[in-house]
Structure 1
Amino acid sequence: MTQHLEEEIFGSDQRPAGDGASPPQPKRTMQSFAALVVALTVLVGGGFAAYHFIGPAIDKFVATSDYPGPGSSTTDVEVAEGQSGAEIAATLANAGVIKTSQAFVDAAGRAPDLAKAIQPGTYTLKKEMAAKDALEWLANPAHRTAPRVTIPEGLWASDIYARLSKATGVPVKDYERAAKNTKALGLPAAAKGNVEGWLFPSTYEFPKKSTAADQLKVMVTKAVEVMSAEKIPQSEWERTMILASIVESEAGSSNDRRKVARVFINRLEQPSAGTVGKLDSDATVSYGAKRRAVAPTEEERNDESNPYNTKLHKGLPPGPISNPGQDSIDAVVHPADGPWFYFVTVNPDTGETKFAVTYAEHERNSLQFQQWCKDNPKAKC
């Protein structure tokens, strides 16, 4: 019986050491595994050339930990920002896409360029895929299925809700409701509960199941990151955002942003000048009137009840009037040097803007804008 047990462990032609017998040797399977370990070591040192010869042996060894593919039913998998390769592998394994995490890690090790190409997003993959097939699928950005939406600079929050809703299918009312819970969005205290200005314009890919609050939080977080990157003191965040939103709405072209920012800063910092501390912005008046127009009406300009009427009220309006982009924020932080107190976009079609130091010069420039309005009667001047 003892002899039979020894044969099961060591093989029928092998015996334990003793009584002059040869030392025991491992079974053939252990010898094969040892050879594979040596081959793996050579692979590390020899790179692709070594893998060309021993790759089939490796593939055979890991086959039991991998599906043969191509897979059957589908499932959605989210690759989150900052996930490591091992974390992605675990996500795929938990979703039933691959058989084991190790199979994916091995595949990524053999194709590091593909592994580096994986981007955050939601992907629809088959279940029970071969790990190398799953890797190749994830490495192709065209396979991301998350809703993609671009938010341009200068939109009102209400405009942004409509765009997000169209792209994601989340109702506009959900965004309006989420915007009220500003603590959950991470809105800075200086914003005083108003998300306007803090929904940073960019192109976003949100997971399919993300809520309105999830999406707005991502946008607010991005705005905070930009303000921090500009090294703006938090005590100046809201002032900067208000000015940037006005610059975004008033600047005729990107080249004018720094000069426009200088005009408004000069008006605020030199209240004894002819502008007596008033920003005199058409865009703020229109925002307060909730009417999008090239210029406000006379009635709107004379409306004292409008807190955003900077033609009548001195200083900054109560809050931002749009959601500015990086360039407008940067223009406020780094305005142009100049003595201007006035500017007017004389051709809204081209964005041509003229700047002036004196009101008399500004009046002459304004005549050009008035002529444009006469030549374009359909414009909302």
Structure 2
Amino acid sequence: MTEYGRGPGSEPWHPEDPLYGDGGWEGQQGHTGHQPAYGGQPQHQYPQHPQQPQQEYADWSNGQPQQYGRQEYDQQQYQQSYEQQQYAAQGQQYAHRDQQAYQEGGWDGTGSHAQVPYAADPGDPYGQQAAAYGAEQPDLYGTPDAYPPPEPPARRRAEPEPEAAQSRPDWDPGPDQGEHAFFAGGGADDEDDDEPETRGDRRGRGGKGAKGAKSKKSRNGCACLVVLLVFGGGLGGVTYFGYQFYQNRHSAAPDFTGDGTSQTVSIEVPKGARGVDIGRKLKDAGVVKSVDAFVSAFTTNNGDQIQAGAYILRKEMSAKSAVEMMLDPKSQANVMVPPGQRNIAVYKAIDSKLGLAAGTTRDVAEKEFKNLGLPDWANADGDAKDPLEGFLYPGTYPAAKGMKPATVLKQMVARADEAYGKYDLEAKAKALKLENPLQVITVASLVQAEGKTHDDFRKMAEVVYNRLKPTNTETNQLLQFDSTFNYLKNESNIHISESEINSNQDPYNTYTQKGLPPGPIGNPGAEALTAALTPTSDGWIYFVATDGENKTEFAKTYAEFERLKDKFNESAGN
């Protein structure tokens, strides 16, 4: 039977019945230990079938054939019969209660319920609770407040998961639990769902009140505010950077006006610096207002002709004025080392450019020469007067007020080390029968000091090597160079008396001491170094500056040398 309360019925329901094939009351199979039926009626015991061989029966209740053994099939039939009896007993109980109430005058004929109490149903837990407290139990059956009749298992909703289940890792809390209401889609309007309100809801079991609605509205409001702030901030950022982009593309770069203030600063421009590199240095020093302004002036005012070095500039200059001033040699604050210049002259120039007392840079060179970057083979001979001689490489170096002498000297030594490092001086010295690379630099310094032109350099180098040979019987391995004696005296005098020369026994006096001096006598340039490494092989051993200054002539014998000497005396008026 398919309607509640029509009779117990012992046979299974018809397959067309919508409740046919349900899995049992409360969604579970019948328990082994049977509970009393609804309303306190005892449960009938049904004999179990004796053991028989297993047979298979097909069950089509779920639309798919399921195989059962004979014993499982009998148990299922028994369970379905038991549930039908439960539904029938419950229906009879409600019908009996209504009939009794009517017979006792429960209806007054007007449609209102009579005030006639009736005994509480022992199977109704709510009726027992009210009776226990001495209160009259109202008959709510058939009214909207009545406890809903049990629904068939196929129509029932699943009970909420217990708290223990919520702790399981695979438990999914759903959109309203564990998720923010904004992202779960819940809102104030979601309170009106289609689920009927049950008595448990009235008693406060998870009821949704005004407080819950207000809380959800607050959460939704916060979420909307966050989204608004995020989008608003993003829009503001886009607007700001867009404005900056427009300004950079279509407006003039910030720039000062005029030729600047009276305050000056020194700027060092390294070798190979680009316009943007120079612009950054000038902006950091307060010379120009922006890098872009300087780059613009640099490209339109021949800024590519600005040389490496130091410059004295004024603060707050227009970019165009800064470029023009850097192109003016007067603004340069550099020390220039010409080829062949002695260290003593370089030290004086550095003191002057840095605004230091005379002798300051020389003292630094004597005390700190080991920390200035000299190569390992430098100062091989301890008798050298200045360990840095020959290593302040010719060139232009920044030297402005505020810089330290050691900083300027390090740049010069580094340039020399780089230039000399291009040659295998160890191998070159051995091939030229010299003791070490320092002697190669010494020969180059002699060539630079005695030679007058580029053509003279290679011949002068051959003169040095021929006079150093042990087979030299012309001068007996004496160089006899005036330049070495002048270095000793820190002079540049070509008129030296024989008595003065012969009385001096200093290692740098090549008239009295055989071989090379202890070290270079100046800073040779690239041409002199190349000539020292590639001398001629024509047999030159003598030379004379016949005009006293610029013209040098060479001889292979002593007789030729005497003729050149007479020529010199004639030009000098002797």
Indicate whether the TM-score tops 0.5: yes
Alignment of 1:137-286 (within 5 A): 137-138=322-323, 141-142=326-327, 145-180=331-366, 181-192=368-379, 194-233=387-426, 236-286=436-486
Find the aligned partners of 1:107 and 1:150 in 2 and give their Cα distance.
27
Amino-acid identity (%): 29
Query: What is the number of residues matched between the two proteins?
Result: 331
- Is 1:320 matched with 2:511? no
The offset of 1:339, in angstroms, is: 0.8
- Give the letter aligned to residue 564 of structure 2: N
Structure 2 residue aligned with 1:59: 250
Q: Is the 8 A contact 2:293 2:319 kept in 1?
A: no
Partner residue of 1:367?
A: 566
Query: What CA deviation, in whole Å up to 9, does each residue of 1:105-157 have, x standing for no partner?
Result: 58748976777565543352434x7xxx5377347632673423433333332
Instruction: Please give the root-mean-square deviation of Cα atoms over the aligned residues, in Å.
Output: 4.0
Quote the Cα distance in structure 2 between the aligned partners of 1:214 and 1:230: 26
2:492, 2:416 → 1: CA distance? 24
Rounded Cα–Cα distance in structure 2 between residues aligned with 1:142 and 1:182:
34
**How far off its partner does 1:244 sit?**
1.6
Say if 1:316 and 1:32 are closer, same or farther in 2 by CA, change over 3 A. Answer: closer
Which residue of 296, 320, 343 corresponds with 2:543? 343
Q: Contact 1:200–1:223 at 8 Å: present in 2 too?
A: yes
Residues 225-245 of structure 1 deviation map (CA, whole Å, 9 limit, x = unaligned): 222234534974311221122
Residues 442 and 519, structure 2, Cα contact 8 Å, conserved in 1: yes
Structure 1 match to 2:135 = none
User: Does the Cα contact within 8 Å between 1:146 and 1:208 map onto a contact in 2?
Assistant: no
Instruction: For residue 259 of structure 1, report the CA deviation from its aligned partner.
Output: 0.5
Q: Which amino acid counterpart does residue 198 of structure 1 have in structure 2? A: F
Question: Which whole-Å CA distance do the structure 1 matches of 2:552 and 2:248 have between them?
Answer: 71
**Match of 1:49?**
none
Alpha-carbon contact 2:336-2:396 (below 8 Å) kept: yes
Change (3 A) 1:32 1:225: closer
8 Å Cα contact 2:369-2:388 kept in structure 1: yes
Q: Does 1:78 align with 2:267?
A: yes
Mark the CA change 1:327 to 1:283 in structure 2 (over 3 Å): closer, same or farther: same
Question: Are 2:464 and 2:479, in contact at CA under 8 Å, matched by a contact in 1?
Answer: yes
Instruction: Give how far 1:257 is off.
Output: 1.4
Judged with a 3 Å threshold, the aligned counterparts in structure 2 of structure 1 residues 67 and 323 are, in CA distance, closer, same or farther, namely: same
- Judge conservation of contact 2:335–2:350 (CA < 8 Å) in 1: yes
Name the structure where helix makes up a greater proportion of residues.
Answer: 1
- Check 1:209–1:276 CA distance in 2 against 1; reply closer, same or farther (3 A cut): same
**Do 1:117 and 1:139's aligned partners in 2 also have CA atoms closer than 8 Å?**
no
Paired residues of 1:119 and 1:139 also in contact (CA < 8 A): no
Cα deviation code 1:23-60 (max 9, x no counterpart): xxx979958976997xxxxxxxxxxxxxxxxx888234
**Distance of aligned partners of 1:105 and 1:158 in 2 relative to their CA distance in 1, 3 Å threshold:** same
3-state SS of paired residue (1:190)? coil
Distance of aligned partners of 1:170 and 1:254 in 2 relative to their CA distance in 1, 3 Å threshold: farther
Distance 2:375 2:229 in 1: 71
CA distance in 2, matches of 1:279, 1:364: 20
Q: How does 1:12-27 map to 2 (within 5 A)?
A: none
Post-superposition Cα deviations, 1:69-96, rounded to whole Å, max 9, x if no partner, equal 3387555262441556665555445444
- Give unpaired runs (5+ residues) of structure 2: 1-220, 380-385, 430-435
Task: Tell me the alpha carbon deviations over residues 259-279 of structure 1, each in whole angstroms, 9 at most, x when there is no partner.
Answer: 011111122245344333221
Task: Indicate if the aligned counterparts of 2:449 and 2:522 stay in contact, CA closer than 8 A.
Answer: yes
Match of 1:352 among 547, 551, 557: 551
| 3-state SS in 1 of match to 2:488 | helix
Change (3 A) 1:230 1:300: farther
Aligned 8 A contact 2:297 2:320 in 1: no
Taking the aligned partners of 1:319 and 1:268, their CA distance within structure 2 comes to 15
Per-residue Cα deviation, 1:194-224 (whole angstroms, up to 9, x for no partner): 2222223333332332222222222222222
Distance in 2 of aligned mates of 1:367 and 1:118 = 50
185-194 or 90-99, larger mean C-alpha shift: 90-99
1:256 is displaced (CA, Å) by 1.0
TM-score (norm 2): 0.49
Residues 68, 263 of structure 1: alpha-carbon distance in 2 compared, 3 angstrom cutoff: closer
CA distance in 2, matches of 1:304, 1:322: 21
Give the AA of the match of 1:148.
Answer: N
How far apart, in 1, do the equivalents of 2:242 and 2:491 lie? 77
| Aligned twin of 1:42 | none
Cα separation, partners in 2 of 1:267 and 1:316, compared to 1, 3 Å: same
Aligned-partner residue type, residue 530 of structure 2: D
8 Å Cα contact 2:353/2:400 also seen in 1: no
Unaligned 5+ residue runs, structure 1?
12-25, 38-54, 376-381
Say which SS state the counterpart of residue 262 (structure 1) adopts.
helix
Q: Give the residue type in structure 2 aligned to 1:331.
A: A
Question: What TM-score, normalized to structure 1?
Answer: 0.70
CA contact (8 A) 2:457 2:531 kept: yes
Is 1:122 the counterpart of 2:307 in the alignment?
A: no
Q: Which amino acid aligns with 2:365?
A: A
Matched AA of 1:81: P
Amino acid at match of 2:370: K
Q: CA separation of 1:268/1:245 partners in 2, compared to 1, >3 Å: closer, same or farther?
A: same
- Greater shift after overlay, 208-217 or 136-145? 136-145
